[in-house]
Amino acid sequence: MSRLELLVEEPSMEEALRHLLPKIIGNRAEWKVINMRSKGRLMKELPDRLRGYKRRMDGGEEIKVIVLIDRDNDDCHALKRQLEDMARNAGLQTKTAAGTGGAAFQVVNRIAIEELEAWFMGDTAALQRAFTSLGGVRFPNSFNNPDNGGTWERLHHFLKQNGIYRNSFPKIDAARNIAKHMEPERNRSRSFQCFLQGVVACL
């Protein structure tokens, strides 16, 4: 059975994936989420980690690597180019570089725009199941385009208005509560759908 290893930058993404990946992957592959604890550390250590994966693949292990990072305020194209360069310098082919012709690849680079919370906003049914007090509540029009910036602030503001997480936004707790109710196929976040396509392509 092939194996997917996902490198993420922080614990709320790790928590969300622990609930989402079984729905996407099922029993088609083994998987592991590696929390790098910060975006800076992930970017700093990624070249060495990719070279380590290359050695393991050359030794016969069937591994695909998914790097998942928040865009935050970075330029999306520049950040993606940086990730692609790191993979190429490690001797690995990315899904983007492989194109659509079916060529083999070992690495998928994906960027959440701007942050994980856009994925939560893209599934309002999951929000209503996670927080039953939202039943019958009208969601703002901005939730129709969850990748449109200011994501965690918009989500926290909306939840606070409805009496949820009034004092602070506990990212890990929110990720756990919401992600377990998410259905990947119905999510309106474009960055989530790009992530989903990348995972499925690895299977």
Cβ proximity of 8 and 199 under 8 Å? no
Beta partners for residue 63, in sequence order: 3
Beta-bridge partners for 65: 5, 107
Helices and strands (H and E) in the chain: how many: 9, 4
pLDDT given for residue 102 in this prediction: 81
Lookup result for tokens 């659509």? 100
The helix, strand and coil proportions of the chain, stated in percent and rounded to the nearest 5, come to 55, 15, 35
| SS3 label, residue 26 | coil
Q: CB under 8 Å to 189, separation ≥6 — which residues?
A: 118, 119, 121, 122, 123, 146, 147
200 vs 45: CA distance, rounded Å: 26
* pTM for the model: 0.93
Tell me which amino acid residue 135 is: G
Torsional class of 26: left (φ above 0), alpha (ψ -120 to 50), beta (otherwise): left
* Closest CA relative to residue 173, chosen from 9, 70, 6, 19: 19
The predicted structure's pLDDT at residue 121 = 95
The whole-number pLDDT of residue 114 equals 79
pLDDT at 187: 96
**Spans of the chain, pLDDT less than 50:** none
Instruction: Say what the pLDDT of residue 192 is.
Output: 95
Give residue 175's pLDDT: 96
CA–CA gap between residue 16 and residue 23 (Å, rounded)? 12
